[in-house]
């Protein structure tokens, strides 16, 4: 069951200076009662397709970190934990890609994140605030469906 309150929280966090990874990570962990104060700091380097390299969408990176933590609350064996985390993360990536056609930040945003001037102009014109909320919200929808 999708939690619209978690979706709303992620949207609020993203609009209040958190990057996509931080917003998803915090909203999901709060929703599951697993949030810890350093969580947003842990996720901070994953925005912009992993530190503005334009690779995997930061919302997905934050979600995969949350998956690892949530799976770890139920599975203590390291090998089983990795296997279950990979399985759940694969499902997330597959569902996201099915909806948006890619998991790559540059392709999703239409911005070459590693080009500093292009990225700067996109930030100045509010491009990411227009484009990225749907990725943040949908990632949280998928996760709250996977972890009701």
Mean pLDDT of 119-144: 96
Q: Domain map of the chain by residue range?
A: 4-146
Residue indicated by tokens 């949530």: 70
Q: What pLDDT is recorded for position 77?
A: 96
Alpha carbon distance 110, 147 (integer Å): 31
Q: What pLDDT is recorded for position 120?
A: 94
Q: What confidence category does residue 1 fall into, taking pLDDT thresholds of 50, 70 and 90? A: low
pTM: 0.94
């Amino acid at each position: 069951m999708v939690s619209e309150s978690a979706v709303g929280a992620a949207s609020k966090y993203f609009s209040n200076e958190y990057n996509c990874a931080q917003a998803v990570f915090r909203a999901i962990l709060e929703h599951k009662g697993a949030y810890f104060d350093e969580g947003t700091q842990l996720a901070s380097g994953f925005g912009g397709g992993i530190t503005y390299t334009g690779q995997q969408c930061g919302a997905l990176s934050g979600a995969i970190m949350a998956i690892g933590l949530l799976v770890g609350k139920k599975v203590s064996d390291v090998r089983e934990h990795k296997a279950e985390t990979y399985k759940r993360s694969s499902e997330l990536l597959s569902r996201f890609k099915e909806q948006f056609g890619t998991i790559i930040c540059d392709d999703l945003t239409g911005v070459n994140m590693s080009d500093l001037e292009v990225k700067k102009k996109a930030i100045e014109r509010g491009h990411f605030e227009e484009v990225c909320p749907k990725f943040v919200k949908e990632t949280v929808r998928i996760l709250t469906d996977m972890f009701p």
